[in-house]
């Protein structure tokens, strides 16, 4: 019993000292003098920044190579309206039908309505990629456009499980039918 008492005392003392520690040690950002925050280096965050930077460089090279004159939206979507179409803008919940060509940024065509059929979906209410839902809402019926979907607006890190690998940006030419 006499040998256990010093051990129990030491463990109790360590636990009490740990309970008094109120500093947060799990975050990436730590406060420094003057209320400013200093970011600590995290290799995963830095790696993702590098991937996004390289993806953006690939997009810029594609745009330059093919002469696409697109506008970049806040989400990162690039769009160039080729034909304005008519009527109201496409709205959430509306069913649209598209002729389309989907390419990788190396120019390879991976999907096309000529081969795979017209694409039909409800805007913001179907499993199409987020970038396509966003793109059609900038257009009217009968419109034609070119769009670039960065990977995070396309199939993300997983790809589509078929012809598009993960982390691939897509270039699409779309035409809203009807």
Over the stretch 67-107, which tens digit does the pLDDT of each residue have?
999 999 999 999 999 999 998 999 999 999 999 999 999 99
pLDDT at 5: 55
Q: Is residue 138's pLDDT more than 90? A: yes
Question: Which of 35, 49, 86, 78 lies closest to 170 in space, CA to CA?
Answer: 78
What is the reported pLDDT for 65? 96
Is 18 among the domain residues? no
Asked if 50 and 159 touch (Cβ cutoff 8 Å), the reply is no
Task: Give pLDDT, residue 27.
Answer: 45
The pLDDT, as a whole number, for residue 40 is 81
Q: What is the pLDDT of residue 22?
A: 47
What gap in Å lies between CA 136 and CA 144, rounded to an integer? 10
Residue 152 lies in a domain: yes
pLDDT score for 158: 94
- The helix or strand, by DSSP H or E, that contains position 82, with its residue range, turns out to be strand 78-83
Is the Cβ–Cβ distance between 117 and 172 less than 8 Å? Answer: no
34: DSSP letter: G
In contact, 130 and 151? CB cutoff 8 Å: no
Top pLDDT among 5 and 115 is at 115
Structural domain containing residue 170:
73-176
Q: Return the half-sphere exposure (C-beta side, CA atoms, 13 A cut-off) of residue 115.
A: 6
Which helix (H) or strand (E) covers residue 163, if one does? Answer: none
Q: Is residue 19 part of a domain?
A: no
11-64, pLDDT tens digit by residue?
454 545 555 544 444 444 455 555 566 668 889 899 889 999 999 999 999 999
**Apex CA 139: angle with CA 100 and CA 53, to 5°?**
70
Q: Is residue 108 part of a domain?
A: yes
Could you tell me which residue, 2 or 142, shows the higher pLDDT? 142
DSSP secondary structure code for residue 161 in this structure: S
Domain tally, the chain:
1
Classify residue 1: in a domain, yes or no.
no
* Residues pairing with 2 in the sheet: none
Residue 3 has pLDDT above 90, yes or no: no
Q: How confident is the model at residue 2 (pLDDT cuts 50, 70, 90)?
A: low
CATH code for position 114:
3.10.50.40
State how far the Cα of 26 lies from the Cα of 172, in Å rounded to an integer.
Answer: 42
pTM of structure: 0.75
The yes-or-no verdict on residue 108 having pLDDT over 60 is yes
Residue 123: pLDDT band (50, 70, 90) is very high
User: Would residue 68 count as lying in a domain?
Assistant: no
């Amino acid at each position: 019993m006499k040998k256990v008492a010093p051990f129990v005392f030491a463990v109790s003392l360590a636990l009490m000292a740990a309970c008094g520690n109120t500093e947060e040690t799990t975050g990436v950002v730590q406060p420094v003098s003057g209320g400013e925050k200093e970011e600590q280096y995290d290799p995963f965050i830095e790696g993702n920044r590098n991937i996004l930077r390289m993806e953006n460089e690939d997009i810029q090279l594609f745009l330059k190579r093919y002469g696409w004159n697109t506008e970049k939206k806040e989400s990162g979507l690039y769009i160039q309206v080729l034909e304005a179409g008519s009527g109201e803008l496409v709205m959430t919940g509306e069913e649209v039908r598209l002729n389309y060509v989907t390419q990788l940024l190396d120019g390879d065509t991976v999907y096309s309505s000529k081969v795979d059929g017209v694409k039909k979906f409800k805007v913001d209410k179907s499993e199409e990629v987020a970038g396509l839902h966003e793109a059609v809402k900038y257009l009217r019926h009968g419109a034609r456009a070119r769009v670039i979907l960065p990977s995070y607006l396309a199939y993300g890190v997983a790809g589509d499980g078929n012809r598009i690998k993960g982390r691939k940006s897509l270039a699409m030419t779309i035409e809203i039918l009807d």
